[in-house]
Structure 1
């Protein structure tokens, strides 16, 4: 350890690899084991959630629930679109209730077991209720429009369905900062301070149209640190969590905000719209084939006439979930690539490599810091902690080699050690 620190702090030749190891070495073994266990458990949850969803779809189809629900709604409203809307609402409620035990364990008890949640059971249930209400409304609207496309486009539904889905996603992102996010958190303007001025200066320097910074109370739900630059068409908003402000130093805040601004400045949102449209088109084409195959064999028993029949929604959802499961490594790689680009942008914009390195250590409380290459490729939708620290240190080495006066060969190992000690303390207090 002493050798690593000495090597990393040699002004004449800054060793990025040694600096990376020095930062990672500050993480306590017990805290690291807990973080690894939490994150690796998530690998299995991907499979568990898939199997639970497939079992639920089978239950709704095999018992005739889906067919009966469609028939009863049709008998009441007649209109095809209203049938879809009411079916979607009831379907959303039913599936939420069926999966509730898994959701409760995964979202509440497991989070508390790893010391990551700050919510009471009552508070968690309240948020689930809010999520259910908004989910019912959004499902009714989206599926009504989606099934109109299915009926009109017929064989080409998978192509038009992808286009309409992306448009509706853009609408959701547009309204989220104004109507959806405040349902779960309070957003307040950040108090006047040097840090606020620095964040706004960083935004203005990178073409982000925002004249204020908002703080939202993530601490009511979790001790995680987070931030975002969200919105479209005039609803763009810079927001950071109270946990980020209260639990990190200013250089870490600026490093994180530089990353978030990178997504906006690099047009990642628009890029993801295009990629999402392509991904959905392929997924819908896959679903079209698999749905036809299964419905040809079991459709009469299930009472499903075809893919435009709302009674087939459980089957459509099951087919699509299989596609997303199989394509997990591809989706994660696309997102991880964008995140790495934003990391580099943030380093260039904020110029806080040590702030970014220690922020990565803080995230390691629930993200495995040093995975294998295959593991990172398959399961990580963000660069690993090691990758982020290494990028920061190599960026710093390059700047020092160029004689950058705002960079120092010194590392913030004191702060890194404090972060590790805090993780150990949290574990002992559970």
Structure 2
């Protein structure tokens, strides 16, 4: 039975991979409509022939890797369950101590290490592709350092979550999901405070914007928008990538507006001001707070569905090599189900994100009154990131938290 389940799971994954390859490389059309040829939306008007070719190749490969990664994770967790690997890790943990907190740490370490090793080839392939197409500038040593930081940061956070979660499962047999959700509220808010000042600096160096004239212009815009900003932060991303980006992170006194140094190097002041106005639009329209509220709502629904799903799976607990929901060996099942739910919910969360990004774009154009710079910014972002202007439908709904460049450029053009 176990071999049959394993064979079917691997076959299903390989079949899915073949179908996605056929869709992305042969069936999907990412070219702009003929009616838009020669307009500002047409990538051939702002990218040369080599850039167009590389963009098409790179986008297809990265999209395929994206669609292969989540099911690969599901396959890993499923095989860990049915082959009894999770139960073996639990036995190792039980031998180390009688204390639940130490058992959780030992079990989670072995599961995290196994996950890291199994998913490493896919992660390295993604990095290699980005390096080959000159999106990533990061050498292997630097990339591996980030991977190890990721491992230990995720381990530390998951140790807290798993220890509390399984303590709740033992205490509240039927309502553990509700107790877990209630405790997740202060934890989520705490992490929003912690992220910009503790976690992000582990990966990169942040410092106040060096160009003080540009910072003055940005702060003047912030003052007009009633944003209590005192600094704009710059981060040294050029050591790792050629891509451009800027973002807002954190809440309250820990909130930050951050510019990548690649953005400062490759865009004009007008384009940078448009990007900053866009980020200010997120702040003014309180998208961070709506995002937290939406995340907590989805978490409530997701935990409830996961709890019900896990109960049904316990009907086959012998095949899954799990004694019960509150046993640590059920953790891969929890991860499997929550990962599937997150993937299934991504079209909805991406749609909400695209709506908020559209609002921020509109706010930026109203603030700057510079649609020409908006168009140029979107074109430069497309070229430097080797992005698709009009991606295939499945790619858009599952990958895009921003509107497509076609949509953004068309809106900017129409506001002139």
**Residue 168 (structure 1) aligns with:** 187
Mark the CA change 1:44 to 1:85 in structure 2 (over 3 Å): closer, same or farther.
Answer: same
**Residue 224 (structure 1) aligns with:** 243
1:318 shift after superposition: 0.9
Q: Which moved more, 1:249-258 or 1:232-241?
A: 232-241
**3-state DSSP of counterpart to 2:207:** strand
**Residue 362 (structure 1) aligns with:** 380
Are 1:178 and 2:197 an aligned pair?
A: yes
Contact 2:177/2:307, CA 8 A, preserved across alignment = yes
Are 1:255 and 2:274 an aligned pair?
A: yes
Q: How many residues align?
A: 379
Mark the CA change 1:293 to 1:199 in structure 2 (over 3 Å): closer, same or farther.
Answer: same
Are 1:50 and 2:70 an aligned pair?
A: yes
**Residue 318 (structure 1) aligns with:** 336
Are 1:134 and 2:157 an aligned pair?
A: no
TM alignment of 1:32-43, pairs within 5 A: 32-43=52-63
**CA distance in structure 2 between the partners assigned to 1:29 and 1:348 by the alignment:** 34
**3-state DSSP of counterpart to 1:240:** strand
1:378 shift after superposition: 4.5
Contact 2:365/2:412, CA 8 A, preserved across alignment = yes
Are 1:26 and 2:53 an aligned pair?
A: no
**Residue 94 (structure 2) aligns with:** 74
TM-score normalised according to structure 1 size: 0.81
**3-state DSSP of counterpart to 2:388:** coil
Q: Residues 317-365 of structure 1, C-alpha deviation per residue, up to 9 Å, x if partnerless?
A: 1112222222332221111111111111222223332222112112213
TM alignment of 1:87-236, pairs within 5 A: 87-106=107-126, 108-236=127-255
Q: Residues 45-74 of structure 1, C-alpha deviation per residue, up to 9 Å, x if partnerless?
A: 333112211221123223322112222222
- 5+ residue gaps, structure 2: 1-35
Contact 1:86/1:140, CA 8 A, preserved across alignment = no
Contact 1:159/1:281, CA 8 A, preserved across alignment = yes
TM-score normalised according to structure 2 size: 0.84
Contact 2:104/2:328, CA 8 A, preserved across alignment = yes
1:149 shift after superposition: 3.3
Mark the CA change 1:317 to 1:375 in structure 2 (over 3 Å): closer, same or farther.
Answer: closer
Mark the CA change 1:374 to 1:138 in structure 2 (over 3 Å): closer, same or farther.
Answer: closer
Are 1:394 and 2:414 an aligned pair?
A: yes
Contact 2:219/2:229, CA 8 A, preserved across alignment = yes
Contact 1:304/1:312, CA 8 A, preserved across alignment = yes
**CA distance in structure 1 between the partners assigned to 2:321 and 2:261 by the alignment:** 51
TM alignment of 1:399-410, pairs within 5 A: none
**CA distance in structure 1 between the partners assigned to 2:96 and 2:381 by the alignment:** 52
- 5+ residue gaps, structure 1: 1-15, 397-430
**Residue 13 (structure 1) aligns with:** none
1:388 shift after superposition: 0.9
**CA distance in structure 2 between the partners assigned to 1:379 and 1:37 by the alignment:** 17
Mark the CA change 1:51 to 1:192 in structure 2 (over 3 Å): closer, same or farther.
Answer: closer
Contact 1:230/1:236, CA 8 A, preserved across alignment = yes
**CA distance in structure 2 between the partners assigned to 1:164 and 1:32 by the alignment:** 49
**CA distance in structure 2 between the partners assigned to 1:51 and 1:229 by the alignment:** 30
**Residue 423 (structure 1) aligns with:** none
**Residue 25 (structure 2) aligns with:** none
Contact 1:119/1:220, CA 8 A, preserved across alignment = yes
**Residue 327 (structure 1) aligns with:** 345
**Residue 342 (structure 1) aligns with:** 360
Q: Which moved more, 1:164-173 or 1:337-346?
A: 164-173
Are 1:267 and 2:286 an aligned pair?
A: yes
**Residue 14 (structure 2) aligns with:** none
Contact 1:162/1:281, CA 8 A, preserved across alignment = yes
**CA distance in structure 2 between the partners assigned to 1:186 and 1:120 by the alignment:** 17
Q: Which moved more, 1:77-86 or 1:342-351?
A: 77-86
**CA distance in structure 2 between the partners assigned to 1:213 and 1:375 by the alignment:** 33
Contact 2:46/2:379, CA 8 A, preserved across alignment = no
**3-state DSSP of counterpart to 1:55:** helix
Q: Residues 182-239 of structure 1, C-alpha deviation per residue, up to 9 Å, x if partnerless?
A: 1111112222532110111112222322211221101011011111222223112222
1:19 shift after superposition: 6.1
